[in-house]
Structure 1
Amino acid sequence: MKKFLLSVLFFTFFLTKVFSQIEEDNRPVMIGEWTQDALNELRNYELNQKFEKHNFRATTQRSDTINLLHFDIHLTVGNGLNQTIAGYSIVEFKSLMNNVSQLYLDLLKLNVDSVIQNGQPLTFNYSDSTILKINLQSAMMQNDSSAVTVYYHGHPFNDNSFGGVYFNGDFGFNVGMSLYENPHNMGRTWHPCYDNFVERSTYEFHITCDSQRMALCNGALLDTAHNSDGTITWHWKMNETLPTFIAGFAVSKFTPVHDTFNGINGPVPVLFGAISADTTAMKNSFANLETCFHYFEDHYGAYPWNKIGFNCLPFNSGAMEHAGSVVYPQFACDGSLYYEDLYAHEFGHHWWGDYVTPYDPSEIWLKEGWAVFSEFLFYEGVYGAASYKSHVADNHEIALHYDHVFDLGYCPLSPMPAYTIFGRTTYTKSADVVHTLRTYMVDSLFFGCLKSFVQSHAFQNYTSVELRDYLSNCSGISLDNFFNDWVFSAGFPHFSIDSFNVADQGNGWYTVTTYIRQRLDHAPHFYHHVPLELTFMNDEMQSSVYKVDVSGPCTVYQTAVPFNPVFAGLDLENKISDAITDEYHVIKNVATNNFPQGKMNMYVYTVNDSAFLRVEHNWIAPDPMKVQIPNLHLSQERYWRVDGILSDSFDAKASIQYNGSNVQPVTSYNGGYLDRALITNVEDSLVVMYRPSVSADWQIDTDVLFNYQGSHTDKKGLIWINHIKPGEYTLAIFQHNKVDSLITPVSDSCFTIINVKDFSPEEKISIYPNPSQNQFTIEGNLLNQSTLEIFSLLGEKIYSQNLPKGIMKTKINCGNFGTGIFLIRISDSEKNIIVRKQVIIQN
């Protein structure tokens, strides 16, 4: 009874801690720089309005004809009562071709009064309120320069969620990017422009408002003019070039707060724009901004803009990275540090997205993935490496759990499908991939080459291919495989240790042969040259770590270890973002031990001295049953692996949660979508399956207790495993009419043992010489007729022959095999594997 009460208390606590990012005190939940509500509206829009796929207007092509050099914008900005803008914009441009007689500018749903060139009115067409088609005075030749002045006014557009011009009380401001509009840039909602990613121009702003308010813009404040009608014109100038989506204005009764940070290139002014009621809270919320500034400069290079600016605005959908003048929501200026990763995200954009800009929206990961990674880097710089690791792990769980649900499938990072440009993959998996790239390159090369890259591409556009080539040349590491695997392909790889063998060398060293298996989570091909850390530990928890280059379905790695290992683990520190979430603990006391990344929690009853325990949650299907149990269907979505260094007396009770609900909104971290394909029957039909190793078959674990939590049909509940054991666990369900989803068969070239038979002492096989050149011999005694097969490490079968029963000696000519490690498998007629060995060929 005591154990039961402890379990109830423990699991009640566990339910409140399942997910790390939840709504707290009704605070908005952030996903990247958007609020959960904004992204949920986007998903509903895409589902219900049939968002047009692959249909971005080709405004980029206009930038090949005319280069827009400079905007001199003169606008009077209204407020919540008078929600209008009025004025003119002088557009300076240069022809890049001969015989250019028209200028097409993006301008959305405003009223155009006139267009002037050289003091003369021009004819124009603006019938669709989308493209302003201007007939120039005369045809321009290549390198000719000119300017037009466009007079316009009206009620500027916004998409009611994120993007456009907004008015609220004393506030008037723009947000330069839209979730919905096509194209996503929103510069055209307040001035005529080329609204694409590639056009970069300098800006001058003359923003006029009533005398109680001030205007904040990109660049430096040059002067203010007090006009005869009682208004004030605020004159700002931005000498660095901007794409339209990061140019902006904000008007209100600001009481600006000023500071200065000493940067690599000298003092950098800081401006916090807030109304007087928000200034103290805003300063407190940005307490770690200076540490962030220095850490980003250390890792990305000198801050590239003339000032740091954040404007605290009544905008409840998120934030926007206007360069040096960030749109920042009032709810995040609350005096706490709760949203500091949001300003870290926007600040990271000042390098990734603002300073160097993706070529077009299909490469959006190049700014958003790097901005989310900047959040992780912020936590590392302010709170240490453990905080970085924790936030990477939380993000990785979201990527594996929710991205494909929200984004209606698995997407590559580049090119990102148009219908999910601002989906989950853009943020979470992209940051996963940047974290993984850090591991591929190691810190010194990674950050050194990033600094060099942003300097060499300053105020320019770039593509994934250009980033790949630059980082490869800079580091001397070919990143072709990395980008082909992680960036240009959807899904994830999955790596696991199939088995390892230990041979005592007799001198205190041990030869360990490890079979590393790769499977795929919706990825189109096996990944190659993945640098994984392989950790061996002995029974005293002494450890030794080796870096293994893993390719294809199977990698065999052999090394000498200075102790007898009893544990082998891959990627214990989660440096590679494969289809596993996991964590480990050293357990010394009887207590509750939670493994949130492993999606398992434990109460330890008995532990002698200490135990090392690792729990993996694997986001792929488990191996199938070897002997099928009628009408029983294994989960095709996940399984657990429990391993470590445990004494025979170790005893613990574990819980796992099942949740097949399709809870809306998808953007909530509610735990759903885990078992939706499995649970198509009442929950009474669920069972827990267990196997101690990959060589064993799955069996029903009866030593469990189900808590259906009141309903047997809502697909949610808890399962207690009364005595957890090392091995693998998964869920299964009895249903006579269930048809499992089609899963691509997994190659057994890593010799995942389907049916192992212990061979008798007489049945010994030798391979010699090993290493070999041109020829080697297989010799031994077989009790049955068998089959010999030889595989490359990529799983390709390159040789096979039948072997006779009895004493045999077979010579294998291997001159055409090439040089490398090859895998030998001998199996009998019932597919029992008798021998699996490796031979090294040195031709």
Structure 2
Amino acid sequence: MNKTLIILLLLVTTTLLGQTNHRDSIDVLHYNLHIDITQIPQTTISGKAIIEFSPLFNYSDNFGFDLQKLTVDSVKFNGNVVDFQHTNDVVRFVTTQNYNVTDTLSAEIYYQGVPAKDPSGWGGFYFNSGQAFNLGVGMRVNPHVYGRCWYPCIDNFTDKATYDFYITTIPSHTATCGGVFQSVAPDANGNKVWHWKIEQPVATYITSVVVGELEKVEFSYQGLNGQIPIDIYCKPSQVSSATTAFADVPLMLQIYENAFGPYPYPRAGYTVVNFNSGAMEHVMNIAYPNDALTTSLSSQTLMAHELSHMWFGNSVTCATAEDMWMNEGWATFCEGIFVEGRDGYEEGKNYFLDNHRYALTSAHTNDGGFIPLYGVSHENTYGTTVYKKGADFVRSLRGYLGDSVFFAAVKLWFSENAHTSKNTYQLRDFLTEKTGTDLTPFFDTWIFNSGFPHYAISNFSTEGNQATVEITQSRLGGRYIGNANKVNVSFFQSPEVYETHLIEFDGKSGTSTFNLPFNAKYAIVDYNSLLADATIKNEYMLYGQQQSFSSQSFIVYPQTTTDSAWIHVTYNFVKPEEHGQIFDGIELTPHYYWTINMESYGNFRGRARFNHTTSQNPADSVWKPEPNDRIEMLYRALPSQPWTKIDIQNYLSWMGGYAFVDSLRPGEYAFGIWRYDSVSTPAQLENQKCKVFPNPAKNRVTVFVGNTNCTEIEIFSINGLQIEKITLDNATYIEIDTNNYKEGAYIVRFMNKSALIESRKLIIAK
């Protein structure tokens, strides 16, 4: 081999390996995929991909396509065989001349082998129980898009192309793909070749194939732009179940077209696959799991979720994985839109509230903390925050704008951006332009910062029919305080008679005064739950029956059978505001409290149970009560008043438990804690010169001074009132009778004449 040839080979190799940005260098126009899937028992496929593309830069001579694990046999460029390298899951080749953005080029790649599955077990290509099929995203692979596991492509969220699929199967098998069925014909070997076509540009990850013994169940829907065929493919034994399970798909299409505009594709379709861990929104050919062929709410909302992706994710696709809430958050919101459209507004509202409860209690524990919706890590791309808080954001945006403005703007989003990829900032700016409302502060509050805002009444007063209310903003899971807040406050004369007004303010708080047609007894923030803030609200009318407010960790037991009451509970997931001295030095829970509004009729009396469980209230793990701490219940009638300790039947411990309040009153309730902050073991006692034990104490406490030269013991209440002064007369310890001490916190001061040596906190708990 001569030196010139060696130098040329080195230059080619350097060029091939140096090109790392292949996904941003090519615009694929069309894929023509010929794939043989006749060897299902051997778990292998073979294929030829003819890819029409244009360079994105002038003077391009270096091209690459993603292909994972499969073996490449040969590559042709514009009909001629070229040298290639297949390293790091990229097939690269260099051309002999430069090409410009106006050129249309062709690559023909022949490949075969065992296709890859995602290491997590979710995503990739499967051979299960006689079926072969793909799931277009992988939970662990990077990038998540996973077209490259079964054909060479530009695998990202932004490169969209049209497709022709030619899938070869054995005679007894059927192949389904996205798009519209064109034909089936025998080949020279007696197998069948199935031709499907997608004429709308789509990203690689939502293309699909399923091969197996399949039969078709047909429905149809008269859409806004014409008749839409609905094809359901399943195993022959599943035809009856599929006919029943998918019967509401036409209704789903009707609900979504009414909300978001015309269905963006010529066909709707599902194929039931041998997989039981979720579904995948492949365009016009949703991969649907075996175990969800039912009419249960969970199955129907899964079906609706995937169908809504034809708008949210398939037609308009998130530009990056960091924007995934634009796909999955909206689709989760669409589950509630389906329930609302099918079962009515109240059922839809309840569905949204169930989603909200899960977002508040579980998103941060599942995802390793409170995280913003935009810019999620690779590990959290398909996490709880993206799905559940994403849906919360959309519901809040709907409430912020109002239905007419919200849905009109969303319809414009799809009509003006169909078959494109967009990011979060582009959505924000588009909605700002179309609604005439600057949504920058709203996105800052809900999208770009972690946690949830919380809105509460901090002051409420009336003078005749004039009501003044102050709203205070705080936050769960972050410190950000948002601007351009719009919060509804409902003023009540009775449960049946109320009037709602909007308060707008920037920053921490806002105050407004309203003239009402009645004298308001009480006010409730966001009574209709239009905003998904850090609260869960619910209400019931009680007629003598026990009522559980399960999402609020609260139960009411009526003590009268003939009288009734209306009770509205707001469960707040933030620390309540403090006004004045907390009773006896009790430490207030930092993460949740109850706001009770109620209207009693006759002689109604309700016994209430407040639950404290770390599973229901993950924030308790932040509070971290210790085994010897004592938990009590605090109450205040109005938010502007100080907290006071109330009598309860106490079944509370550091591990959880509950408290009974014999007679429920309107107001706010919270747990408080007396910290066990003294020593209780010999090893711990050695670390302190002056000791008080046991602590907490009931009827007697021992005070130990050792060799500290302590001459006097002074005991003060937490409010500074001296309770007792004891002279030691050279004693090293003394026992003090505390029978006459009230429950609460005290300060024990160890004195040498007038000089303070140390002080200790003492808790009396009887």
**1:596 matched to 2:536:** no
User: Which residue number corresponds to residue 659 of structure 2?
Assistant: 719
Rounded Cα–Cα distance in structure 1 between residues aligned with 2:390 and 2:642:
37
Of 313, 328, 352, which aligns to 2:273? 313
**Match runs of 1:640-679 below 5 Å:** 640-646=594-600, 649-660=603-614, 671=616, 673-679=618-624
Deviation at 1:685, TM superposition (A): 2.5
Deviation at 1:596, TM superposition (A): 2.6
Of 78, 82, 96, which aligns to 1:118? 78
Question: What secondary structure sits across from 2:551 in the alignment?
Answer: coil
**Match runs of 1:496-511 below 5 Å:** 496-504=456-464, 510-511=465-466
Task: Indicate how the Cα distance of structure 1 residues 672 and 109 shifts in structure 2: closer, same or farther if over 3 A, else same.
Answer: farther
- Are the aligned partners of 1:88 and 1:150 in contact in 2 as well (CA < 8 Å)? yes
Question: What secondary structure sits across from 1:425 in the alignment?
Answer: helix
Aligned amino acid, residue 250 of structure 1: V
Of 152, 157, 172, which aligns to 2:116? 157
**1:415 matched to 2:375:** yes
User: Which residue number corresponds to residue 695 of structure 1?
Assistant: 640
Deviation readout 1:248-307 (Å, 9 max, x if unpaired): 101110011122211011111111010011111112112221111111011111111121
- Are the aligned partners of 1:79 and 1:168 in contact in 2 as well (CA < 8 Å)? no
User: Which residue number corresponds to residue 183 of structure 1?
Assistant: 143
Deviation readout 1:406-442 (Å, 9 max, x if unpaired): 1111111122233311111100111001001111111
User: Which residue number corresponds to residue 259 of structure 1?
Assistant: 219
User: Which residue number corresponds to residue 132 of structure 1?
Assistant: 91
Deviation at 1:379, TM superposition (A): 0.4
Rounded Cα–Cα distance in structure 1 between residues aligned with 2:473 and 2:57:
53
TM-score for the superposition, normalised by structure 1: 0.75
Of 577, 581, 591, which aligns to 2:536? 581
**1:373 matched to 2:329:** no
Rounded Cα–Cα distance in structure 1 between residues aligned with 2:144 and 2:495:
58
**1:572 matched to 2:527:** yes
Question: What secondary structure sits across from 1:676 in the alignment?
Answer: helix
Deviation at 1:683, TM superposition (A): 7.6
- Are the aligned partners of 1:436 and 1:575 in contact in 2 as well (CA < 8 Å)? yes
Deviation at 1:239, TM superposition (A): 0.7
- Are the aligned partners of 2:635 and 2:669 in contact in 1 as well (CA < 8 Å)? yes
Deviation at 1:537, TM superposition (A): 1.4
**Match runs of 1:454-603 below 5 Å:** 454-504=414-464, 510-539=465-494, 541-587=496-542, 589-603=543-557
Deviation readout 1:347-393 (Å, 9 max, x if unpaired): 11000000001111111111111100110100011001011100111
**Match runs of 1:127-526 below 5 Å:** 127-128=87-88, 130-159=89-118, 160-334=120-294, 336-504=296-464, 510-526=465-481
Question: What secondary structure sits across from 2:620 in the alignment?
Answer: coil
Question: What secondary structure sits across from 1:173 in the alignment?
Answer: strand
Task: Indicate how the Cα distance of structure 1 residues 79 and 716 shifts in structure 2: closer, same or farther if over 3 A, else same.
Answer: farther
Deviation at 1:628, TM superposition (A): 4.9
Return 352-361 or 491-500, whichever deviates more.
Answer: 491-500
Aligned amino acid, residue 511 of structure 2: V
**1:686 matched to 2:626:** no
Rounded Cα–Cα distance in structure 1 between residues aligned with 2:35 and 2:348:
44
Deviation readout 1:16-51 (Å, 9 max, x if unpaired): xxxxxxxxxxxxxxxxxxxxxxxxxxxxxxxxxxxx
Aligned amino acid, residue 381 of structure 1: G
Rounded Cα–Cα distance in structure 1 between residues aligned with 2:552 and 2:604:
19
RMSD: 2.2
Rounded Cα–Cα distance in structure 2 between residues aligned with 1:378 and 1:75:
37
User: Which residue number corresponds to residue 620 of structure 1?
Assistant: 574
**1:101 matched to 2:61:** yes
Rounded Cα–Cα distance in structure 2 between residues aligned with 1:674 and 1:489:
19
Deviation at 1:696, TM superposition (A): 3.1
- Are the aligned partners of 1:165 and 1:190 in contact in 2 as well (CA < 8 Å)? yes
- Are the aligned partners of 1:107 and 1:132 in contact in 2 as well (CA < 8 Å)? yes
Task: Indicate how the Cα distance of structure 1 residues 676 and 540 shifts in structure 2: closer, same or farther if over 3 A, else same.
Answer: closer
Task: Indicate how the Cα distance of structure 1 residues 59 and 482 shifts in structure 2: closer, same or farther if over 3 A, else same.
Answer: farther
Of 592, 598, 602, which aligns to 1:638? 592
> What is the aligned-residue identity percentage?
29
Question: What secondary structure sits across from 2:621 in the alignment?
Answer: coil
Task: Indicate how the Cα distance of structure 1 residues 421 and 338 shifts in structure 2: closer, same or farther if over 3 A, else same.
Answer: closer
Unaligned runs of 5+ in 2: 1-17, 679-766
- Are the aligned partners of 1:299 and 1:447 in contact in 2 as well (CA < 8 Å)? yes
Deviation readout 1:782-840 (Å, 9 max, x if unpaired): xxxxxxxxxxxxxxxxxxxxxxxxxxxxxxxxxxxxxxxxxxxxxxxxxxxxxxxxxxx
Deviation at 1:79, TM superposition (A): 5.7
Deviation at 1:737, TM superposition (A): 3.5
- Are the aligned partners of 1:625 and 1:698 in contact in 2 as well (CA < 8 Å)? yes
Deviation at 1:687, TM superposition (A): 2.0
Number of aligned residues: 661
Question: What secondary structure sits across from 1:450 in the alignment?
Answer: helix
Question: What secondary structure sits across from 1:528 in the alignment?
Answer: coil
Is the radius of gyration larger for structure 1 or structure 2? 2
Return 652-661 or 175-184, whichever deviates more.
Answer: 652-661
Return 596-605 or 387-396, whichever deviates more.
Answer: 596-605
Rounded Cα–Cα distance in structure 1 between residues aligned with 2:519 and 2:234:
63
Rounded Cα–Cα distance in structure 2 between residues aligned with 1:443 and 1:382:
17
Deviation at 1:732, TM superposition (A): 2.5
Question: What secondary structure sits across from 1:438 in the alignment?
Answer: helix
Deviation readout 1:185-212 (Å, 9 max, x if unpaired): 1000001111100000111101111111
Task: Indicate how the Cα distance of structure 1 residues 554 and 127 shifts in structure 2: closer, same or farther if over 3 A, else same.
Answer: closer
- Are the aligned partners of 1:703 and 1:723 in contact in 2 as well (CA < 8 Å)? no
Rounded Cα–Cα distance in structure 2 between residues aligned with 1:520 and 1:219:
46
**1:72 matched to 2:26:** no
Deviation readout 1:285-339 (Å, 9 max, x if unpaired): 1222111111101111111112100011111221110010001101001465541
Rounded Cα–Cα distance in structure 1 between residues aligned with 2:666 and 2:469:
19
Aligned amino acid, residue 139 of structure 1: N
Aligned amino acid, residue 243 of structure 1: A
Task: Indicate how the Cα distance of structure 1 residues 60 and 403 shifts in structure 2: closer, same or farther if over 3 A, else same.
Answer: farther
Q: Which has the higher contact order (CA 8 A, sep 6+)?
A: 1
Task: Indicate how the Cα distance of structure 1 residues 418 and 338 shifts in structure 2: closer, same or farther if over 3 A, else same.
Answer: closer
- Are the aligned partners of 1:105 and 1:133 in contact in 2 as well (CA < 8 Å)? yes
Question: What secondary structure sits across from 1:730 in the alignment?
Answer: strand
Task: Indicate how the Cα distance of structure 1 residues 605 and 684 shifts in structure 2: closer, same or farther if over 3 A, else same.
Answer: farther
Task: Indicate how the Cα distance of structure 1 residues 583 and 334 shifts in structure 2: closer, same or farther if over 3 A, else same.
Answer: closer
User: Which residue number corresponds to residue 801 of structure 1?
Assistant: none
Deviation at 1:723, TM superposition (A): 2.1
Deviation readout 1:675-708 (Å, 9 max, x if unpaired): 22334323872222222223333233322241x7
- Are the aligned partners of 1:163 and 1:177 in contact in 2 as well (CA < 8 Å)? yes
Deviation at 1:132, TM superposition (A): 1.1
Rounded Cα–Cα distance in structure 2 between residues aligned with 1:409 and 1:737:
29
Question: What secondary structure sits across from 2:480 in the alignment?
Answer: coil
TM-score for the superposition, normalised by structure 2: 0.83
